[in-house]
């Protein structure tokens, strides 16, 4: 599915609002059934294990 300019415009507005008003590590999932907001409470990036 190709995103059109209207979808990109709305997504950009939602992203800006989240950065200003909520946890910046929030994902919004929009479906035909509703809207879900999920967040990452803790994140640890994977690092390469020392092989020595």
Chain segment 26-51, per-residue pLDDT in tens:
778 888 899 888 877 777 778 776 66
Percent of the chain clearing pLDDT 70 (strictly above): 88
Q: Which two tokens stand for residue 19?
A: 């950065």
If one compares 23 and 11, the residue with the highest pLDDT of the two is 11
pLDDT for 29 equals: 86
Per DSSP, 39 falls in state E
Could you give the CA distance from residue 11 to residue 1 in angstroms, rounded to a whole number? 15
Q: How far apart are CA 39 and CA 13, in angstroms?
A: 18
Of residues 9 and 18, which shows the higher confidence score? Answer: 9
Higher pLDDT, 6 or 39: 6
Residue 28 dihedral angles phi and psi, to the nearest 5°: -110, 130
- Give the residues across from 29 on adjacent strands: 36
Q: What's CA 52's distance to the chain center, in Å?
A: 37
């Amino acid at each position: 599915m190709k995103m059109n300019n209207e979808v990109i415009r709305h997504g950009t507005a939602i992203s800006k609002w989240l950065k200003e008003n909520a946890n910046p590590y929030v994902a919004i999932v929009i479906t035909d059934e509703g809207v879900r907001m999920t967040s990452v409470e803790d994140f640890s990036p994977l690092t390469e294990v020392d092989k020595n």
